[in-house]
Every structure is written in C-alpha cells, then in structure tokens.
Amino acid sequence: MANARAEAVAALVDRLGHRFADAALLERALTHSSVGEGADKAAGKPARHNERLEFLGDRVLGLLVADRLHSEFPEADEGELSSRLHALVDKHACGRVGARLGVGPAMRLSPGETKTGGRRKEGVVADAVEAILAAVWLDGGIEAARRVFERAWAEELAAPAPRALNNPKSALQEWSQGAGRPLPTYRVVGQTGSDHAPTFTVEVSIPGVEPLTAQGRSRQDAEKAAATALLKREGVI
C-alpha cells in the first residue's frame, strides 16, 4: 500500500508540473485531518494535516482566478466576473480538478476515512486541491502557483460558462418560478462614494428564501451580483 501511494504521489507531481524544493509541504497538503485519529495520535504526535494550507489555498485560488478573469474578460461587469469566479473556485470545480490530477490515491488518510471512501469524496479531494495550491505557493511563489493553476484548471477554464453566468437575474427568476415562488425583487439599501463614482448596495428578496445583499458600481451591476450570490448560496451554480 505504501508503494502504491508513493507511486500515486509521484504521478501527481508529474501532473502538477512542479518539483517541490520542500517535499514536506506536499506531504502536509495531502494529509487529511483524520490521520490524527490513527497511529500518530496514539503515539502522542498528532499529524500536521492540511486544514491550514486549505485556508491559504482557497485565497490563492481566488486571487489567481480573479486575475485571470480580469485579463480575459475586459468588458465583463462585476456581476459576471463574480459568477465566473464562483464557478471556477467552488468545491465541485476543485473536486473535478483533483480527480483529473489523481489526488485521491495520493492522499494520506486514516484507516476509517479510507474505508468510508475518503479518497473518492469530492469534499476531501477538493480541500486537498486547495491545500496543494497553497503548498506550491509557499514552495515556489506566485508564479509557480500560477503555472500549476493554469495547467490543472485548463479544462475548467476551457469549459463554456453556465448560462446563469451570462444573465444571473433571468436565471434567478427561472429558479424561483420553478420552485413555485414569486419573482425576485430588488431594492437599493445603500449608496456610498461620490456622485461620479458611487457604490450601490442592493438587496434581493424571494418569499421563503433568506434575503441577500451585494454591491456594484451601478444599480444594475449590484443587482446582477446579488442574483449571482443568491444562486451560488442556494447551490444553483
């Protein structure tokens, strides 16, 4: 089993295209928190698992995606950029990336987590993917992380944008009506900044659904951002 995992880790490194100067960073990124329940804990030495790296990796991924989208879609408004970002950083996207990289077989899990199929769990794999990106960032800096991101997310970046990203207000309207609810309503609840550069805060409401607010440089952008955020929160996109 140890040899099989070592082979899986080597294959993962090849797919990432990054050779770690500090291999311990990758090992920590691949170590699930359940490992602390096993032999290490019994020996009084809890393992250094990947949760802190996952925290950092989530932010690294968000930065890299935001930078890519800002350059690739110069005419897109804030709402569309937010929608595209959410689609590329959510757990489903990270899980798909992890499956293509072969992260599951390379992970270090407790026997119990392994028996319950941890290597195939989308959430476990997605968290490890974020941790790996953080490990690359710490090991080689932002450009190393960018190279891994561009390589690992190539298929996600090439995929057509979901329809909801192009018109989030229409998508939210269809979702609400499909659930038997009234149409969404929007209202401005705040405005800051100067007259020539205002920032609007808009609340979107649907009966039976918790309201949500978002901001934009115009009322229209704020409404799109609010619709996108609500679709994301409810798991539609």
pLDDT tens, 191-211? 987 777 788 999 999 999 999
Q: Are residues 97 and 189 in the same domain?
A: no
User: What tokens appear for 13 in the block?
Assistant: 């490194």
Q: What is the mean pLDDT of residues 164-177?
A: 84
Q: Are 102 and 12 in contact (CB under 8 A)?
A: yes
The one catalytic residue in 54, 80, 127, 130 is: 130
Q: Are residues 175 and 228 in the same domain?
A: yes
The one catalytic residue in 58, 77, 78, 174 is: 58
pLDDT at position 191 is 92
Q: Are residues 179 and 101 in the same domain?
A: no
Q: What is the mean pLDDT of residues 64-93?
A: 86
Q: Are residues 116 and 22 in the same domain?
A: yes
Q: Are residues 30 and 109 in the same domain?
A: yes
Residue type at 118 in one-letter notation = G
Q: What is the mean pLDDT of residues 53-57?
A: 95
Has 67 been annotated as catalytic? no
Q: Are 209 and 192 in contact (CB under 8 A)?
A: no
Q: Are residues 95 and 7 in the same domain?
A: yes
Beta bridge partners of 205: 185
Say whether pLDDT at 45 is over 70: no
Has 40 been annotated as catalytic? no
pLDDT at position 50 is 94
In which domain, by residue range, is 78 found? 2-158
Decide which of 158, 176, 211 is a domain's last residue: 158
Decide which of 158, 175, 196 is a domain's last residue: 158
Q: Considering its fold, how many domains does the chain have in total?
A: 2
Q: Which CATH number fits the domain that encloses residue 207?
A: 3.30.160.20
Helices (H), 90-141: 91-101, 103-106, 111-115, 122-140
* pTM reported for the whole predicted model: 0.71
Separation of alpha carbons 87 and 63, rounded Å? 14
pLDDT mean across residues, the chain: 89
Q: Are residues 16 and 114 in the same domain?
A: yes
pLDDT digit string, tens, across residues 91-109: 888 999 999 999 999 999 9
Separation of alpha carbons 18 and 143, rounded Å? 11
- Phi and psi at residue 203, to the nearest 5°: -105, 130
Distances (CA, A) of 227 to 13, 161, 200, 205: 39, 16, 14, 10
Q: Are 135 and 53 in contact (CB under 8 A)?
A: yes
* Chain CA centroid to CA 45, Å: 31
Separation of alpha carbons 191 and 32, rounded Å? 44
Q: Which CATH number fits the domain that encloses residue 56?
A: 1.10.1520.10
Q: Are residues 38 and 153 in the same domain?
A: yes
